[in-house]
Each structure stands twice: as C-alpha cells, then as structure tokens.
C-alpha cells in the first residue's frame, strides 16, 4: 500500500511538526526583513542627526557664544594663577624681600649641552638668582687676653678691669648663645651639647653648660630686679600661673606681662603671697587674670577673662546636650561678650558709648541675678554676681577682653616642662626665671638677646 501524502511517506505526527516548523521559519524570515528595514531607518536617522549636529557646531564656533548650559572650554587657555593668601587679620605681613647686602658673587656658565653633550659658546644672556644660606660648621674663635694692671696712686694699690667673664675660659657670645638655646628655643642641655660639638667642634659637658647658665643669670640679677620694680608703673598686666616641679617637689611658675615686659617667678606657693611680693599690696594699673582667688586680695582695678568664663559652659553643654536652659544661658552670655567687643571698637574709634555701655551693664546685671534651675548654672551665676564689676573693664581701656596674652607667655615654659620636667634646684629655678624674663623682654623691645647679653657681660 503506497503513501498518498506529499510529505514523503512519514508518520502523520512528524508531518504535522514539519509543517509547523516551516511556518515558523517563514514568520521569522518576515520579522527579520521588517527588523532590517527598521534598522536601516534608524541608521539614516542617526546620519541625519550627525549632520545636523555638525552644522550646529560650526554655527556656534562662528559666533563663539556657547549656550548658557555649556561650560567654557579653557583647555587651550592659560589658567589664571590663584592669588596667594595674605596674613591673617591682626597679623603683620611678611614680604619676601631680597637682602640688600650681597656677600659674594658667583658666575655659573654651562659648558656642555644637556641633550647632545656638545660644547657651548659663551652665554648670550644672563639672569640673576639670589640665594641665602648658612655658613659651614667652623672652629670656635680662641682669643688670648693680655690683661694689664696699673698702680693707682690715690688708692695705693694695683687695679685691673672688672669684667667678670674676662676670667672665664668661655666668652660672652657663647654664654649668651647657650642661654638663648635653653630658655628661648627650649633645647635640653644634651641637645645643646650635641649642637656645639657638631657645628663648632666644641666638646662641653652638660655640667659645664649648667655652670655657664648660672654665671649668666647672676650677671642679670640686677636687671631682673629693676624689671620687677618697673611692674608697678605699668598701665596693665596679665597674670597667670602654671604647675611646675623643683627638685622633685611641687612648685608654680608665675607670669606677669604686657606688650612691653615679661616677668617670671618660680615659687613653691600658689597663694596671694607671691602676688604681694611681686606687685605689692596695691597696684596702680589694671590686673587681667582668670577667676583664681589669689588675684582678689590685691588693691587695684581688676579685669576678669571672658575666655575662661565662656569655657565654663562647655562641660555642662557636653554633659547635658539637650538641656534648653544651659544652651540659652550660654548663648546670652556670648551675646553680652560680643556687645562688649563692639562697644570697645566704637570707643577706640572716638564714639560716645555711654548710653549703650550703661544699657549693657544693666542688661547683664538683670540677667545674672535671675535664679536658674540647673545646679551648674547656679554656680556660674554666683560667680558672675561676685565679679560683675570686673567683666566690662576692657570696654573703656586698652586691655584685652581675654587673658590669652598671659596664656601665650606661659606656653614656652610649658613646652620646656615637657622635656626638662622643671628644675633640679632652687638655683636652677632662679636661673630660669631670670633668663626667661630677660629674653622675652628683649624680644618685645626689638633687641637681639645675643648682642644685648654679650655687651652686658662685657660691661
């Protein structure tokens, strides 16, 4: 029996599957032809957009006016050099001026080309460059003195010069330099010993350096006493103290200073006795200090530091960050402080501030006599009531509103304390107080301590 179907005589189910497959192939071929047509249209659209974009780019290049949303292309332009930052407000500028005196002239001429190593002719042009450098390490200067003695007929005895350092093995410049390194730069005796050995081939023991410091301090004892006497005639002084160690025992380093003088005292006491010894029972100027009670006994006009006062609010704000009363109290005190600074500027400019000053004082008094609820604020309010007459002294005077100047005077000693741990004897404490006072005061008067001390030693 023969197969009458047109599929080639296969099984009927296989014939149906083959027919279905052929139909699917035809459908996919139609879809492919349609997709090819769509892709061709997309390629044509892309080409048209490219041409339109090129046309717009040429038009923009001709007008040289980019659209508002486009950033200017500065790739071919030289970037503007940023202006260097100047000094901070209140600080003097430090221009980089060239030295007026040139010690030597050196000519530098290229002999060979750095690229091809060929020989070069004489330079066709020159430029100058000034460089400041240090001299190389050198040997110390050794001087032999021939000291004369003469017979005085009036006194009937032989006399000579009374220069104390002329009999020392080491000269005044070395004494002054060691004192400056120790009490101005804060170098330890071991570092000074290494510096002298490496730079000047001078081998000295730390004990010898200590003796040179003591000898120098004794030469300045008279000047130190005169400096302490001059404190009573100052218009104002900043006072402060910090902990110290002397021969393993607790002590205190005191500082009394202004823009002209610096006076240091190291004493085992932190009481009012030190202030009485330095300034006396009364002082004609204004004493600026923190709220330490030792400064209350002296009879003078006093000014309390606003920085220490506002700093008292930090701990309660950290401990109670969500307490609205503490935040409000702190903000109000800061407003009073800013009002005081504004009045001080107006007073220095020659404006009449009497009405505004009385209003500020009255507002402050009314505020501090309110009874806050928080215990920390009650303690601060009690302090404000006690010192209310010493808060705004700075408004009509030349003193600062804060005691930061005294903090800056103490800072060099605090840095030295970290390396030297204080002093080993009463003589060492006295040496430090004398030499720190003379070095800081000489710097404020514009003097070079090395030159001043050398001439003082030789007088």
CA distance 205 to 210: 9
The 3-class SS string of the chain reads: CCCCCCCCCCCHHHHHHHHHHHHHHHHHHHHHHHHHHHHHHHHHHHHHHHHHHHHHHHHHHHHCCCCCCCCCCCCCCCCCCCCCCCCCCCCCCCCCCCCCCCCCCCCCCCCECCCCCCECCCCCCCCCCCCCCCCCCCCCCCCCCCCCCEEECCCCEEECCCCHHHHCCCCHHHHHHHHHHHHCCCCCHHHHHHHHHHHHCCCCCHHHHHHHHHHHHHHCHHHHHHHHHHHHHCCEEEEEEEEEEECCEEEEEEEEECCCCEEEEEECCCCHHHHHHHHCCEEEEEEEECCCHHHCCCEEEEEECHHHHHHCCHHHHHHCCCCHHHHHHHHHHHHHHHHHHHHHHHHHCCCCCHHHHHHHHHHHHHHHCCCCCCHHHHHHHHHHHHCHHHCCHHHHCCCCCCCHHHHHHHHHHHHHHHHHCCECCHHHHHHHHHHHHHHHHHHHCCCCHHHHHHHHHHC
Q: How crowded is residue 280: how many other Cβ atoms within 10 Å of its Cβ?
A: 14
Give the model's pLDDT for residue 54.
Answer: 87
pTM above 0.95, yes or no: no
pLDDT score recorded for residue 53:
86
Q: What is the pLDDT of residue 283?
A: 94
In this predicted structure, what is the pLDDT of residue 246?
A: 93
pLDDT value at residue 146: 83
**Relative orientation angle of helices 206-219 and 221-230, to the nearest 10 degrees:** 50
Quote the tokens at residue 115. 């690229």
Do the Cβ atoms of 384 and 365 come closer than 8 Å?
no
pLDDT tens digit sequence for 202-256: 999 999 999 999 999 999 999 999 999 999 999 999 999 999 999 989 999 999 9
- Predicted pLDDT at 147: 81
- So what's the pLDDT on residue 6? 46
- Give the model confidence (pLDDT) of 156-206 as tens digits: 999 887 665 556 788 889 999 999 999 999 999 999 999 999 999 999 999
pLDDT at 292: 93
**271: which 2 tokens?**
């009481």
Give backbone dihedrals phi and psi of 252, rounded to 5 degrees, phi first.
-140, 135
Place of tokens 């020989």: 119
Q: How large is the angle between the packed helices 206-219 and 172-183, nearest 10 degrees?
A: 100
- In this structure, the chain runs to a length of 459
**pLDDT per residue rounded down to tens, the chain (459 residues):** 444 444 445 567 777 777 878 888 888 888 887 787 778 888 888 888 888 888 888 877 776 665 566 665 565 556 666 666 777 777 777 777 888 889 999 988 888 888 888 898 888 888 988 888 888 888 888 888 788 889 998 989 998 876 655 567 888 899 999 999 999 999 999 999 999 999 999 999 999 999 999 999 999 999 999 999 999 999 999 999 999 999 989 999 999 999 999 999 999 999 999 999 999 999 999 999 999 999 999 999 999 999 999 999 988 999 999 999 999 999 999 999 999 999 999 999 999 999 999 999 999 999 999 999 999 999 999 999 999 999 999 999 889 999 999 999 999 999 999 888 889 999 999 999 999 999 999 999 999 999 998 888 876
**What burial letters (b/e) apply to 344-367, b meaning 16+ CB within 10 Å?**
beebeeeeebeebbeebbeebeee
- For the chain, report the end-to-end CA distance as a whole number of angstroms: 149
């Amino acid at each position: 029996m023969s197969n009458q179907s047109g599929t080639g005589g296969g099984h009927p189910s296989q014939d149906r599957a083959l027919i279905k497959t052929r139909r699917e192939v035809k459908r996919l071929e139609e879809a492919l032809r349609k997709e090819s047509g769509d892709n061709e249209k997309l390629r044509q659209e892309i080409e048209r957009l490219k041409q339109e974009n090129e046309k717009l780019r040429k038009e923009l290049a001709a007008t040289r006016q980019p659209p508002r949303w486009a950033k200017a292309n500065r790739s071919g332009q030289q970037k503007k050099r940023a202006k260097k930052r100047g000094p901070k407000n209140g600080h003097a500028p430090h221009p980089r001026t060239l030295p007026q005196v040139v010690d030597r002239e050196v000519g530098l001429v290229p002999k060979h080309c750095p690229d091809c190593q060929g020989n070069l002719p004489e330079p066709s042009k020159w430029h100058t460059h000034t460089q400041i450098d240090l001299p190389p390490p050198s040997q110390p200067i050794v001087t032999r003195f021939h000291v004369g003695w003469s017979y005085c007929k009036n006194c009937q005895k032989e006399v000579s010069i009374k220069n104390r350092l002329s009999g020392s093995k080491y000269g005044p410049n070395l004494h002054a330099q060691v004192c400056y390194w120790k009490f101005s730069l804060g170098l330890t005796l071991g570092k000074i010993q290494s510096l002298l050995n490496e730079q000047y081939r001078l081998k000295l023991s730390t004990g010898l350096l200590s003796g040179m410091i003591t000898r120098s301090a004794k030469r300045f004892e008279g000047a130190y006493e005169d400096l302490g006497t001059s404190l009573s005639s100052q218009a104002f002084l900043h006072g402060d103290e910090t902990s110290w160690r002397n021969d393993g025992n607790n002590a205190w380093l005191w500082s009394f200073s202004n823009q002209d003088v610096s006076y240091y005292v190291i004493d085992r006491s932190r009481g009012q006795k030190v202030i009485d010894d330095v300034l006396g029972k009364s002082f004609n100027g204004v004493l600026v200090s923190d709220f330490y009670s030792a400064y209350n006994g002296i009879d003078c006009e006093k000014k309390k530091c606003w920085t220490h006062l506002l700093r008292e609010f930090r701990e309660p704000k950290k401990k109670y960050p969500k307490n609205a009363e503490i935040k409000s109290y702190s903000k109000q005190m800061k407003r009073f402080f800013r009002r005081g600074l504004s009045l001080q500027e107006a007073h220095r400019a020659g404006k009449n501030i009497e009405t505004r000053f009385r209003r500020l004082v009255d507002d402050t008094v009314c505020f501090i006599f309110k009874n806050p609820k928080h215990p920390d604020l009650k303690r601060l309010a009690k302090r404000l009531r006690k010192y209310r007459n010493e808060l705004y002294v700075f408004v009509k005077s030349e003193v600062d509103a804060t005691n930061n100047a005294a903090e800056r005077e103490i800072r060099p000693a605090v840095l030295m304390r970290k390396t030297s741990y204080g002093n080993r004897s009463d003589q060492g404490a006295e040496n430090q107080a004398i030499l720190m006072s003379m070095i800081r005061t000489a710097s404020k008067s514009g003097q070079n301590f090395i030159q001043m001390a050398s001439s003082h030693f030789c007088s």
